[in-house]
Amino acid sequence: MSELGQELKTAREQKGLSLDDLQKTTKIQKRYLEAIEKGDYNQLPGEFYTRAFIKSYAESVDLDFKSLREQYPSDMPKIERQHIETRVTPPDGSENEQAPKNFAAMQYG
């Protein structure tokens, strides 16, 4: 069991909540809650959801997620941000023309 998982479990038990109670409160499947308590993040559906589930769990047992994140950085899955380049093609399909810089002013001005 991870230290983070143990702290979450202890807080849950101190509040007198079962995993079934927490499942109803958080809408997170019991098997995922168990995996969080064990620190077995491989059972969860990805790093983003793992962090979101931990945050929801923590808030449900009155623990501060930010403090937990700082206290247990090695137990917290890392989320890497990726830059995604997007291009917008004008409705007529032309790609060589650039939109006017002050497009809003031209339409509404």
Which of 73, 74, 68, 78 has the alpha carbon at shortest distance from 47? 78
29-78 per-position pLDDT tens digit: 999 999 999 999 999 998 899 999 999 999 999 999 999 999 999 888 77
Confidence bin at 80 (pLDDT 50/70/90): low
Is there a contact between 1 and 40 (Cβ–Cβ < 8 Å)?
A: no
**E-strand spans in the chain?**
none
The average pLDDT across 69-96 equals 73
Global pTM exceeds 0.75: no
Give me the pLDDT at residue 66, please. Answer: 94
